[in-house]
């Protein structure tokens, strides 16, 4: 007897609904495609207890729930993106019913066409640059200083070394970003990530997202390798190809 709504995962152009039959939906639901003016919204039904405004406010702070829903959402987005040009939506876009979905498709139509034109035939690559962990100080550096003045001298030298290191690694991160952006359709800087979430202790210098033509993927990877070799002072990691999340998401209004 609980109210249901329609959860929107992504919007695609030219999608064959049959292609998603075996893909699992959230909350044991069933994927459908609601079409309007040539665009199709991939949706499934969800309980508003869990996904309505109150429910979301509760659940979005529940990390296990968030993880399950994020993964389920991503599964559908990735499946859709392999079939047709896809604009992924952010988490928890809910409409009351299919008429509501069509209204959204109508309102967003032009923006969506632009987004789909931009991402068609392109994938997202993630490139992160980390500072190398600093080597442990030499034995002399840890022995007690001979005097107060010597102690201060040592501290000053350490500070200057650290600042020089920080500014040179920041410059490298900028260079890496510019080189990669020049070889992509588009590049974006995302905020650095909390070490407790990444599990990495090294400082994250750069978190970049790049939109790359599908058949340029290998060349892009090779460029990242070149940059990593050219800059041994930093650690460069590349992941992808992913659906173009950072270049296609629409704001909910």
Partner 1 sequence: MNENDARRLFPQRLETDAESVERDLFKLVLTIIELVRQLMEKQALRRVDEGDLTDEQIEGLGTGLMHLEQAMDDLKSRYDLTTADLNIDLGPLGPLLSE
Partner 2 sequence: MTSTAPETRTRTHAESRAERLPEIALVDLLDRLLGTGVVLAGDVVISLAGVDLVQVRLHALITSIRSDMVEPR
| Binding residues vs partner 1 (CB under 8 A) | 144-145, 147-152, 155-156, 159, 162, 191, 194-196, 201
Query: Does 9 participate in binding partner 2 (rule CB under 8 A)?
Result: no
187 touches, from partner 1, partner 2, none (C-beta below 5 to 8 Å by class): none
Q: Which is nearer to partner 2, 148 or 232 (CB)?
A: 148
Residue 220 C-beta: closest distance to partner 2, Å? 13
Residue 225 C-beta: closest distance to partner 1, Å? 30
Query: Does 245 participate in binding partner 2 (rule CB under 8 A)?
Result: yes
Rounded CA gap, 94 and 101, in Å? 9
Query: Does 116 participate in binding partner 2 (rule CB under 8 A)?
Result: no
Query: Does 155 participate in binding partner 2 (rule CB under 8 A)?
Result: no
Give the interface with partner 2 as residue ranges (CB under 8 A): 19, 21-23, 66-67, 70-71, 73-74, 78-79, 81-82, 85, 88, 90-91, 120-121, 123, 126, 190-194, 196-198, 214-215, 217, 239-243, 245-246, 249, 251
């Amino acid at each position: 007897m609980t109210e249901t709504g329609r959860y929107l995962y992504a919007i695609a152009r030219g999608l064959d609904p049959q292609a998603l039959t075996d893909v699992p939906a959230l909350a044991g639901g069933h994927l459908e495609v609601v079409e309007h003016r040539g665009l199709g919204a991939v949706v499934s039904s969800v309980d508003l207890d869990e996904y309505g405004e109150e429910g979301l406010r509760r659940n979005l702070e529940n990390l296990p729930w968030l993880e399950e829903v994020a993964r389920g959402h991503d599964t559908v987005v990735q499946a859709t993106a392999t079939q047709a040009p896809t604009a992924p939506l952010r988490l928890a876009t809910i409409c009351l019913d299919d008429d509501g979905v069509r209204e959204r498709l109508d309102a967003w139509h032009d923006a969506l066409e632009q987004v789909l034109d931009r991402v068609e035939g392109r994938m997202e690559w993630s490139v992160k640059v980390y500072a190398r962990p600093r080597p442990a100080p030499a034995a002399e550096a840890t022995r007690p200083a001979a005097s107060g003045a010597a102690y201060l001298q040592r501290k000053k030298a350490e500070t200057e070394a650290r600042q020089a290191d920080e500014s040179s690694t920041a410059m490298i991160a900028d260079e890496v970003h510019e080189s990669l952006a020049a070889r992509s359709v588009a590049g974006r800087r995302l905020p650095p990530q909390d070490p407790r979430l990444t599990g990495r202790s090294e400082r994250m210098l750069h978190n970049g997202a790049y939109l790359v033509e599908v058949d340029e993927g290998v060349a892009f990877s090779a460029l990242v390798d070149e940059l990593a070799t050219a800059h041994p002072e930093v650690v460069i990691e590349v992941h992808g190809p992913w659906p173009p999340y950072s270049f296609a998401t629409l704001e909910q209004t």
